[in-house]
Amino acid sequence: MTASTANARFRRDVNLLGLTFVSLGSIIGSGWLLGALYAAQIAGPAALISWGIGAVFMLLLALIHAELGGAFPFAAGVARFPHAAYGAVIGFAIGWIWWLGSVTVAPIEVEAALQYFTHYVSWLTTTSGGKTVLTAQGYGIAVALMFAFSVVNVLGVRRLARTNTAIVTWKIAIPVIAIVAIAVTRFHTANFHALGGFAPYGFRGIFSAISTGGVIFAYNGFEQAIQLGGESANPRRNIPLAVIGAIVAGVVIYVLLEVVFLGALHPSDLAHGWAKLAFKGSAGPFAGIASAIGLSWLAILLYVDAAVSPGGTGLLYTAASSRVAYALGHDRFVPRTVARLSQRGVPDVAILISFAVGAIVFLPFPGWQKLVGFITSAAALAYGMAPLALSALRRQLPNLDRPFRLPLEPVLAPAGFVVANLIVYWSEWSVVWRLVAAIAIGFGVFSVYRLLGRGELPAIELRPAAWFPPQLAGLLVLSYLGQYGGRKVIPFWWDVGAVAAFSVAIYVLAVRLRLPPERARAYVQELADEDEETATALDT
């Protein structure tokens, strides 16, 4: 890299409001446009329970991340906490998983937008196997939108934050307007116990909707304030406030959206049961409902929002995936060129890589629902690393100032790890084995770079990572034998208990295998030295 780029630093241009809107803008994306429909198809009216359980799960994980983000405000922090606690092998694993999860979000948001716009431009999507997927022309438009996200990110984080603040103001207003307008226009209470009662598919449907119906996917994004922590003013205060505030606001909006969606359905929409719930305009469910009940003005707003909401979230995840790629390059897991910062203080090479990979993702996952399960399971597996890192770092750096401290850590940290693994399990066998295969591919890349890489490479600590292969193997076996796309050898409810017990055992093993305190402190100090404010806090 050139001398100018070698001396470039991240700029701390994002204030509390901007940081909060980064997380909230990531949460309110295509999930609100499509999640209510897909969750209802899987769980019926009991989708409300799915949203409630998902909210509890994600609030717990958000609180865990809030402590870590406030204590360690580094760029791409979520990929670096486990590295500090467990060394380079886990550091690469979590970075790779986070990158897989985040680099695929921008494509899914583009797919959601184009699915809505099929109402006006019929050639953007088609139906294949009962799912809405992109046409060849739609693929070209999708790639062009991805390129636009990359251009805005290359212009710098200040421009990104300002653009996002304006977009998120709109993104909050439109769902709130939709909730009020639909609720007062048409609300059938009978829908909540029609066709088999409130829970026609029982808890199996409720749990499945959490992972494959878009519930957890919709709540994803609270961690984006942490990803940009290295670019925030006063991050030790602002990151916890932004993370907690964003997830609470997102939960309220999503639960109310599902309530009004269920209430607004006409009895004829349910003629073929919840699993085949369909109505005119179901490719854009809320816009279709608005048109059906005579709110044409709202339908127009929703079709406009179909560009704004997914577009804003795609914009943010382009930034997030590039920061994770930056962290992988900075820590020498991949070529250092990936960590190059431009004179605008952004990782321009990483942004271009995210664009290229995102464009390719459309090919194996050409539709919203085809991709949501993979993103959900990858995010959940990555979220599960945070409870392990929190417990380890509490023991490794006990005197570090933590602006926010998770209460009842001995109980809530393992609980967070359990719920993360349950989300992965509920994603179904076809998703779980693909996720594990993707991780294996990542380690293949890591091994090749270790063999061919030049210069200083990170030390490899195998013992602190000894719990990770058993975790992946255990999730594979439980998924294969379980109730969600598996062989159904383990009875229902027993499978949930088996995943929970297995998770607790892995949690205990992982915390015991953590790095020695001096190794953890050395890595944290290395990151902190990049920023005077963080370094001062660490030294106190």
What pLDDT is attached to residue 1?
A: 39
| % of the chain residues with pLDDT over 90 | 40
CATH topology (fold) of 10-520: Amino acid/polyamine transporter I (1.20.1740)
What pLDDT is attached to residue 537?
A: 46
What pLDDT is attached to residue 203?
A: 94
CB 238 within 8 A of CB 16: yes
Q: What is the pLDDT of residues 358-379, one digit of tens each?
A: 888 777 666 666 677 888 899 8
**H or E, element range at 160:** helix 157-185
What pLDDT is attached to residue 514?
A: 96
Mean pLDDT of the chain: 85
What pLDDT is attached to residue 387?
A: 97
What pLDDT is attached to residue 6?
A: 44
Work out the average pLDDT over 298-311.
84
Torsion on CA atoms 116, 118, 124, 130, rounded to nearest 10? 80
Q: What is the pLDDT of residues 23-58, one digit of tens each?
A: 888 888 778 888 899 999 999 999 999 999 999 999
What pLDDT is attached to residue 110?
A: 84
Distance CA 509, CA 339 (A): 33
Q: Is the dihedral of CA 272, 274, 276, 278 positive or negative?
A: positive
Q: Which of 126-135, 225-234, 267-276, 522-531 has the lowest mean pLDDT?
A: 225-234
CA count, 13 A, side-chain hemisphere, 407: 0
Residue 414 has pLDDT above 50, yes or no: yes
Q: Which long-range contacts (CB under 8 A, 24 or more apart) does 240-243 make?
A: 240/66, 240/67, 240/69, 240/70, 240/403, 240/404, 241/16, 241/20, 242/16, 242/19, 242/20, 242/22, 242/23, 243/23, 243/62, 243/65, 243/66, 243/69
Rounded to two decimals, the pTM is 0.84
Of residues 441 and 334, which shows the higher confidence score? 441
Q: What is the pLDDT of residues 477-495, one digit of tens each?
A: 999 999 999 999 999 999 9
Work out the average pLDDT over 184-198.
92
What pLDDT is attached to residue 270?
A: 87
Q: What is the pLDDT of residues 192-242, one digit of tens each?
A: 998 889 999 999 999 999 988 889 989 988 887 776 666 666 777 788 888
